A and B are shown apart, each in its own frame.
Chain A
């Protein structure tokens, strides 16, 4: 699989990122190398190996439906860049 400029644009959109021309060149090279490694992995014959969902052979433990968390909004919001009236402010997204 190879990565062209159009696919890179799409990945940048999904990541909400912008890159300079130079950065694009560098990352394309990185991706090419990564994909080449993945091609090697794909070449391995795994037909008889069942997919591994999780390396731990345990089941998930469940929690009782109880409210156990008290929220200290002020403390949590100290790390936010901008807050007004308890709401996080972000660049407009609609």
Chain B
């Protein structure tokens, strides 16, 4: 029998706020355990949650970017369950009237394919449980408790593990692009639960679904789904039933295993949080956010291709996040050479940043400096080779501007035609034998003359002009 897997994703994104969703505690990753969990995060009696404005704005930003329905009023609920990393005994979350309703995300590959988003709701993150080698003991760090999470829920309209990864990547890119989160999966800033079932290929009714929780890499999503789809098909073909359960993926054994017995939706006893009034979404918030939304990656990429003549690969690379696209815009506008700008950003600059362990945002080479460098290549002050040396000086912080580096390195390309003509005359006079050979047909000797002049000028002669001039003077007689 032919089977069809059906997959839905629940993606948790930690929003990039300075403070927690309901308290003024810090949100920095990597702080000493429990130094960022205040009385509100610990759920101590007498404390009350106060909602963080920025968490609302970032969630709305996502909603508007995917053209979702935004309700005029949003509600917070208590989701009740007991677990040691949830000090209050409930998580403040949303049920009815989530901040982001149904929307769509385009794949952005020019195919026109879209993925339906069912909803995205705000909630507080739980703490972190550590299960180290201590008999009978788990340890709890509550620094993460209360960090704002946006949970993005897709419709179950994904039909393979490969496709699931494709969409997860797409949502990851959009989250980065919109500046909602740093989305570093190794730090759990973005993680994914998948719901997967299988059914006979021609059957409309969905099979019983399994949830796999806490997948924090694209690779694990694919591996976990591959294993689970295969397991479910084997199970059904052997005449056994799939039992609804939550499983965890073990990357070492490359298999999914049943998780602790876990509550299901009806067990959470959701009810509106009496500590939080309904929030009326103001029209001016929507308008302000709409105005501040950058052009979305696929629109921007298409405009780079059609208006600036970039290849699809280059345009997509530059649109991977807003910082890169904005940087490119500045360099391309200032240098008036979009293709060279794209090549430098994707090539030398990406390589240098990777080597230095920095990002574009904290790179030593500003957009102004890179544009200057490209201008200096285009006005023939620098050869490509020289430009790389000047670029290295900028990267290493030895010079603060291109012109300063050119002076400091004595790197000016010799482009003055009179000076070059004099050099050519002197070189030809010094090598009459080779001149004779050239003129009798051995034109490959042009390289010999270029080499002589480059040696004499320490590589600073403008190669294009030199070649033209040499040819002209050698062919003259």
Contact of B35 among A56, A65, A68, A71 (CB under 8 A): A71
In whole Å, how far is A67's beta carbon from the nearest beta carbon of chain B? Answer: 5
Are B142 and A66 in contact, CB atoms less than 8 angstroms apart? no
User: How many of A's residues come within 8 Å of B, CB to CB?
Assistant: 35
Which residues does chain B contribute within 8 Å of A54, judged by CB atoms?
Answer: 272, 274, 277-278
User: How many of B's residues come within 8 Å of A, CB to CB?
Assistant: 53
| Contact A67 B34, CB 8 Å, known A62-B53, A92-B138, A93-B138 | no
Q: Does B66 contact A (CB under 8 A)?
A: no
In whole Å, how far is A80's beta carbon from the nearest beta carbon of chain B? Answer: 9
Which residues does chain A contribute within 8 Å of B136, judged by CB atoms?
Answer: 91-92
Are A73 and B34 in contact, CB atoms less than 8 angstroms apart? yes
Which residues does chain A contribute within 8 Å of B38, judged by CB atoms?
Answer: 69, 71, 76
Are B34 and A86 in contact, CB atoms less than 8 angstroms apart? yes
> For window 59-85 of chain A, which residues contact chain B by CB distance below 8 Å?
59-69, 71, 73, 76-77, 84-85
Closest to B135 in A: A92
How far is A23 from B378 in the complex, measured between Cα atoms in Å?
87
| Contact A88 B54, CB 8 Å, known A53-B278, A65-B18, A71-B38 | no
Are A63 and B53 in contact, CB atoms less than 8 angstroms apart? yes
Are A53 and B24 in contact, CB atoms less than 8 angstroms apart? no
Are B19 and A67 in contact, CB atoms less than 8 angstroms apart? yes
Are B139 and A69 in contact, CB atoms less than 8 angstroms apart? no
Q: Does B108 contact A (CB under 8 A)?
A: no
Closest to A79 in B: B44
Are A56 and B82 in contact, CB atoms less than 8 angstroms apart? no
Interface string of B69-88 (1 = CB under 8 A from A): 00000010000111110000
Q: Does A42 contact B (CB under 8 A)?
A: no
Are B131 and A92 in contact, CB atoms less than 8 angstroms apart? yes
Q: Does A22 contact B (CB under 8 A)?
A: no
Which residues does chain A contribute within 8 Å of B114, judged by CB atoms?
Answer: none
Q: Does B210 contact A (CB under 8 A)?
A: no
Contact of A62 among B56, B84, B140 (CB under 8 A): B56
How far is A73 from B25 in the complex, measured between Cα atoms in Å?
12
Closest to B272 in A: A53
Are A87 and B278 in contact, CB atoms less than 8 angstroms apart? no
Closest to A59 in B: B280
Contact of B84 among A14, A67, A90 (CB under 8 A): A90
Q: Does B37 contact A (CB under 8 A)?
A: yes
Are B263 and A91 in contact, CB atoms less than 8 angstroms apart? no
In whole Å, how far is B214's beta carbon from the nearest beta carbon of chain A? Answer: 12
Q: List 9 A-B contacts (CB under 8 A).
A: A14-B263, A54-B274, A60-B277, A62-B52, A62-B56, A65-B19, A66-B19, A86-B34, A90-B139
Residues of B within 8 A of A (CB): 17-19, 23-26, 32-40, 42, 50-56, 75, 80-84, 129-131, 134-142, 260-261, 263, 267, 272, 274, 276-280
Residues of A within 8 A of B (CB): 10, 13-16, 53-54, 56, 58-69, 71, 73, 76-77, 84-94
Known: A54-B277, A63-B51, A67-B18. 17 other contacts (CB 8 A): A16-B82, A53-B278, A59-B278, A60-B276, A62-B279, A65-B55, A66-B19, A67-B24, A67-B26, A69-B19, A76-B37, A87-B130, A87-B140, A88-B142, A90-B84, A90-B139, A93-B84
